Each structure stands twice: as C-alpha cells, then as structure tokens.
Chains A and B, each alone.
Chain A
Amino acid sequence: MRRTVLKSLAAMIAGAFLSLPAYAQTKPVEVEFYYPVAVGGPITKIIDTMVADFEKENAGIKIKPVYAGSYQDSIAKALTALKGGNPPQLAVLLSTDMFTLIDEDAIVPIDGLAKDEAGKQWLGGFYDAFMQNSRSGGHVWGVPFQRSTIVMYYNKTMFKEAGLDPEHPPATWQELVEFSKKLTKKDAAGNVTQWGLEIPSGGSFAYWLFQALTTPNDAILMNEAGNQVMLDKPAVVEAAQFWRDLAAKHGVMPTGTIDWGTTPKDFLEKKAAIIWTTTGNLTNIRSNASFPFGVAMMPKQKRGGSPTGGGNFYVFKNATPAQQEAALKFARWATTPERAADWSIATGYVAVTPAAWQTEKMKKYAQEVPAAAVARDQLDVSVAEFSTHENQRVTKVLNDALQAALTGAKTPQQALTDAQREADRILRSYK
C-alpha cells in the first residue's frame, strides 16, 4: 500500500518536471503593475479597459493591474514588497521618487531597455519639462505618464463684480496683489467673507506650490544630481517673503496654513476668487463649478514658470528580462499619441508628448476645453519638481520651514536658513 503511494507520488513529480518546459513555452509573460489614484474620476475602470485593450493586441503578455492607494501608499507598498523579495515588475509612482528608487536599487534605466532606434526616438518624443524629472546620472529612469502642473483657477463672475476684466487674469505678481485686493470682501464687522487668493500650504504639497513662486523669481531649488539644495538663496527667501506677505501684509489670503484638499472646495463654495492648484483638479472643477471660471498660467515676476508634477512608469530590477521587455512594451503602448490623448481627456492629466496634442481628438478637446491647453503652453517654461535623494525627508524639511514662515513662527530668512542646514546634513552622504 505504502509503496504504491510513494510510486504514484514519484510518478506525479516526474510528470510535473517533464511537462514543465512545454507548459512554460505557452505560458504568457505576467507583469504585475502597481498604480495609484490621485485625482477624481473612475481611474481604476479606465486602467482596466486600457489593460484589456493592450492584452488584445499583445497575446503573449498578461498585465495584472493592482490599485495601490495614494502615491504615498503606492511607493510604501512597492518598497515593502521589494524588501519582501516580491516587488511588482512595473509601477506608476511619483516622478520625484526616482532618487529613492535608485538608492534602493529597485529600478533599471529605461534607456538600457529601449536601446533600438525606435526606442530612442520614443524617449526623445516627450516634453523636456517632464523628462527633467526622469533623468539622472546620464540615464532615463522613468517614463512620463500621468503628469500635471500647477495652474491658476479664477472665478470670472467675481472678476466682473470687482470691476476687473474676466479675460485678463493677473499676469504678474504685482497684478496678483492688486487684483486680489479688489477681490477680497469684508462684512460690516470687518470679517473677511471672500478671499482674493488661496495658495495651499498644508499637507505635503507646500514645497510644490512654493516652486510656483520660486520659479518665476528665477530660482532653482536643487541640482540635477539630487544631492544639493539651494534653499537659502536671496531669490528663494524673497519668494517665501512674498507668500507670507500675501496674508500678513496685503491681507488677501487667510493667515496660517491653507489645506491642500479643501482649496478646490473653497473655490467652488465661492469663498476664494483665485486658487492655485494642480491641473489634475480641472475635471473636478469643470463638473462642479456653478459659475464661469478661467484657467491661467502662473503670474510672472522675473520670468514665467511652474514645476511639473505627477507620476512616471518605472520598470523594476527584480523582473526577468522577458518581464522587463513586456513592461516596457506596455509603457510604450500607453504613451503612444492616441493612448496618451485618451488618458489625458479621461483624467485631466497633461498629455505627455507634443505628438499626442496633434491627434484629432486632442485638438478637438483643446478647442472644447481651452483650459487644458493652458497647462500645455506652460510646459515651455516649466521646471522639474523638487526631488533629491532621501526625497521625502528633505521635502518635509522644506515643508516645515515654509509652514513656520507662513504661520509667523520664524522669519522666511530664518526658516529657510535652518532648512538649508538640515537638508545639507541629510544629503551629506550623497555628495
């Protein structure tokens, strides 16, 4: 009895080994794909449809999309999985997570995978403003996918009421202060009922909005190697002082910090005439605003400009060459002009290649929603989003400094000098 069992067991194992090679040949390449959801809308459904379409055209590849939460959750999950030895093969993560992923030895350079002529051409086809956050040390590490930038939303009805031209949004810092003063309303008791301007500074995005002030003031906050920050330069301090003054001196913005999440709501509730926030909010504001609104570029000081933001595709190192190839194929497929246009129209993200804007549907969309084109036009003067080694930590140092300056706990000069010292300490081992 026992012998029979053992024999059949052995036969089964042998059978399994013998049939394995044949099985492996027909088995499709599986790619696990983590993605975050950071804007409103049925993102998971759009992704699922995209994957299904891709699989139809590429029979040998099976993509397993995994919704991984917010951007923060997604990187946390990907790195935890990596440390557990089971990372995804492809993921959309913040473009600013690039240095973190390189330091963790988690990803491979994209230019090493897309070596042929067509691959090079593909990587050269993106807006340079987006590629600035994808390059380091002479390599391309990420493929721009769901990218955004900061724009100014303004309430045209309020502009009219205040005697301003609704087709002329503030184009310079001076105009911004001037217009905002006219747009700020108070009741009889002297309490503000309508703010002229809101630039959110709460949560973890203060540094990003700050870049929309430093870039026009002609200051760059970090180097391309990501191991040096320039936070205490006079132009940077000036920008922080201006931000503080909007509330403290000009009285056109609430004092203290302004929450990132409630700012679009303040705008929709008609409590703020002008807000600065991501292009990712366009679809939300477009469907919920009860008044005509305009979208404009960041006001100029010495120049124009805004940082870019959003997520890139990353291909992971632990994957087999076949998986890496499949992952790359999917990333390439998702950023073809037609697909990029679909994605942009469905989500409100900025289409990542000039070619996508040349497609028929994108031309039509830009005509229907001129606001979408504002973000594209701003790309010419946009700069890389703040990103360094130990990114989250350095970013927190900057956020804390900005919040200290905005709440009046420290002077902008003091806050940024402290931040510079702290950032230097964190980055010392990456020089």
Chain B
Amino acid sequence: MNRTLNTVYAWLLLLPAMVLLVAFTHYPALATLWHSFFSTPKGRRPAVFVGLENYQAMLQDPVFWRALINNLWFALGTVPVAVGIALLMALWVNRGLAGRGFLRLSYFTPTILPMVAVANIWLFFYTPQYGLLAQILQFLGLPGPNWLGTKETALPALMIVSVWKEAGFFMIFYLAALQGVSPSLREAAMLEGASRWQYFRRVLWPLLMPTTLFVLINALINAFRLIDHVVVMTHGGPDNASTLLLFYIYQIGFSFWDTAYAATLTVVLLVVLGIIAAIKFRWLDKRTHYQ
C-alpha cells in the first residue's frame, strides 16, 4: 500500500513537467514524423498516405543539400571559434584586474541584445560603400567587397555575427566553472613547479571538461537553430548561399505551405541533432571527468 502510494506521489510530482514535455516536445515530434508520410492537404484535396515519397523528393532537392552542407560548414566554423573565444575571455576576466565587472558586462552585452536588432546593426556594418567595414577599408585604401551579396562571403559574414553573439554567453558558463575551482589546486601545482600552461592543460582543462561538453552541445544546437540572422540579413541569398536548414524549413512550411515536406525536413533535423547528442554523450562523456 505504502509502495503504491509512493508511486502515485512520484507520478503526481512528475506530472506538471511531463504534461509540458509531452504537449510541446514529444507529441509534436511524433506528429511531425507521422505527417512526413502523407501528402500536403490543399483546399479540397485531403492528405493521402504517400509512404517515403517525401523523403525521395528531399534526396533530389538540391536546395536541401545546399542548406545541409551550409549548416555543417556553419557549425564547423562557429562552434570551435565561439567556444575557444569564450574560454579565453573567461580566463581573462577571472583574474583580479581593475574594471573586471565592466569587462565581464561588455563581453556579455551581445547576448542581451535582441537577435533581430543585432542582425540589423550588422546589416549596417556589412553594407557596401558606407557601412562600417566599408568605411574602415576605404580609409585603408582597400576595396570593400559586397559582403552579403556575394556567394563566397555571405555565409562567413553570418558566421562572424553568430560567433560574436554566442561567445559572451558561453563565457558566463566558463566563468562560473572557473569560480568553482579551488585556489588551493593552483597553489599546489605552483609549489610542485608546474608552469602556467601545465596547470591549465593538466588541471584546469580536465576540470572544465563538463562545462565544455555542455557548451559544445549548446553551441551545436544553436548552430542548427539559427534563423533570425538569415531572415534579416540575407534571406538565404544570394542563390541559397546562406540558406540554413531551419530557414529552409520555415520557407517550405510557411511561405510555400508544403507542410508535409516541411515535416520531412524537420525529421531530418531532429535525426541530425539526435545523432550529435548521442555521439557526445556516449563518447565524450567517457573522457570527461565529473567532480
């Protein structure tokens, strides 16, 4: 009896979180998978079961491949750089220097700003001829490229914005982790004659590993979740050079109203994210030292 009551208690306590998770995460994910096997209903034509046809169409869709490859490059370009800069900034502002609070705040500022405002500011930076970058280059006597209007530079330009935006946010996590490291460890290492690099490499870095893992996962998820900048700055152009997967899904879903195909693409996005998470938790976790 007591046991049953306990079980009931446990389930009741879990209920609020579970209702939210089921309603906004699990059910939509399953519904997406379900819809991806049907055609898009249109006016008087209801949806019919089409099996894997949506997936076949996707494999033959050059824009899908473009978006996927762009997204991989985007992740590859932004994640290591953002995490690296975050770590550097955290180590920098963790020391006892004058104006530390101000420095921390200024590093964190990009994170507080609304995404759309940020994108508009950067849109001005990148504007040819009288944008900030163009003015600096003009001053140096260099020609300013058309950053957002050229196939080769559009995606890197977006990557820079993303790094700028994310690094400060991840810095906060590293900073918190660094504050948790006992100063006696450093003193002990110094007494043993370890160099500062050795202390970082052998003591600090392993201790920061859980944070790094957390930050990496978040950075990667953010890389696949980004859409605001694309909408404001390039609209995926020129010729899909800066189309990312989520932006393409949005376009298919809410501009073209091809909801079935959008569901198919969403399934792919979910699978990609699932694989990344699985690899990280299974492989990286083993090499991570939790205190």
* A-B pairs with beta carbons under 8 Å apart, 8 shown: A189-B143, A202-B237, A203-B237, A254-B146, A255-B149, A256-B145, A259-B127, A262-B123
User: In the bound complex, do residue B146 and residue A256 qualify as a contact, i.e. CB atoms below 8 Å apart?
Assistant: yes
State the Cβ distance, B258 to closest chain A Cβ, in Å.
7
User: In the bound complex, do residue B151 and residue A407 qualify as a contact, i.e. CB atoms below 8 Å apart?
Assistant: yes
Interface centre among B145, B146, B239 (most CB of A within 10 A): B239
Contacts of A55 in B (CB 8 A): none
B183 CB–A CB distance under 8 Å = no
How big is the B interface, by class? 20 to 34
- Inter-chain CA distance A300–B78, complex, in Å, is 48
B143, B240, B254: the one within 8 Å of A191 (CB): B143
Contacts of B180 in A (CB 8 A): none
User: In the bound complex, do residue A203 and residue B128 qualify as a contact, i.e. CB atoms below 8 Å apart?
Assistant: no
**Interface stretch among A43-51, A224-232, A352-360, A391-399?**
A391-399
Contacts of A72 in B (CB 8 A): 255
Contacts of A189 in B (CB 8 A): 141, 143
A204 CB–B CB distance under 8 Å = yes
State the Cβ distance, A316 to closest chain B Cβ, in Å.
13
User: In the bound complex, do residue A258 and residue B129 qualify as a contact, i.e. CB atoms below 8 Å apart?
Assistant: no
Contacts of B255 in A (CB 8 A): 72, 76, 392-393, 396
A181 CB–B CB distance under 8 Å = no
A104, A193, A255: the one within 8 Å of B43 (CB): A104
- Inter-chain CA distance A240–B9, complex, in Å, is 70
User: In the bound complex, do residue A407 and residue B254 qualify as a contact, i.e. CB atoms below 8 Å apart?
Assistant: no
State the Cβ distance, A54 to closest chain B Cβ, in Å.
31
B141, B234, B256: the one within 8 Å of A390 (CB): B256
- Bitwise interface map of B from 118 to 149 toward A, beta carbon under 8 Å scored 1, else 0: 00000100011110000000100111111011
- Inter-chain CA distance A79–B238, complex, in Å, is 28
Q: A271-B130, A404-B238 are in contact. List 9 more A-B contacts (CB 8 A).
A: A189-B143, A191-B142, A256-B149, A256-B238, A265-B127, A266-B129, A271-B129, A392-B257, A407-B151
State the Cβ distance, A139 to closest chain B Cβ, in Å.
16
State the Cβ distance, B81 to closest chain A Cβ, in Å.
25
User: In the bound complex, do residue A105 and residue B141 qualify as a contact, i.e. CB atoms below 8 Å apart?
Assistant: no
Contacts of A103 in B (CB 8 A): 42-43
Chain A's closest residue to B256 (CB) is A393
Contacts of B151 in A (CB 8 A): 256, 407, 409
B residues with CB within 8 A of A: 42-44, 63, 123, 127-130, 138, 141-146, 148-151, 234-235, 237-241, 251, 254-258
State the Cβ distance, B12 to closest chain A Cβ, in Å.
31
A255, A259, A266, A401: the one within 8 Å of B148 (CB): A259
A100 CB–B CB distance under 8 Å = yes
Contacts of A407 in B (CB 8 A): 149-151, 238-239, 241
A327 CB–B CB distance under 8 Å = no
A245 CB–B CB distance under 8 Å = no
Interface residues of A in 205-225 (CB under 8 A from B): none
State the Cβ distance, A280 to closest chain B Cβ, in Å.
19
- Bitwise interface map of A from 273 to 316 toward B, beta carbon under 8 Å scored 1, else 0: 00000000000000000000000000000000000000000000
User: In the bound complex, do residue A202 and residue B138 qualify as a contact, i.e. CB atoms below 8 Å apart?
Assistant: no
Q: Which 8 A-B pairs have the closest CB atoms?
A: A256-B149, A105-B43, A403-B238, A256-B146, A257-B149, A403-B239, A256-B150, A404-B239
Interface residues of A in 165-211 (CB under 8 A from B): 189-191, 193, 195, 201-204
State the Cβ distance, A397 to closest chain B Cβ, in Å.
9
- Inter-chain CA distance A191–B237, complex, in Å, is 25
Chain B's closest residue to A105 (CB) is B43
Contacts of A195 in B (CB 8 A): 129
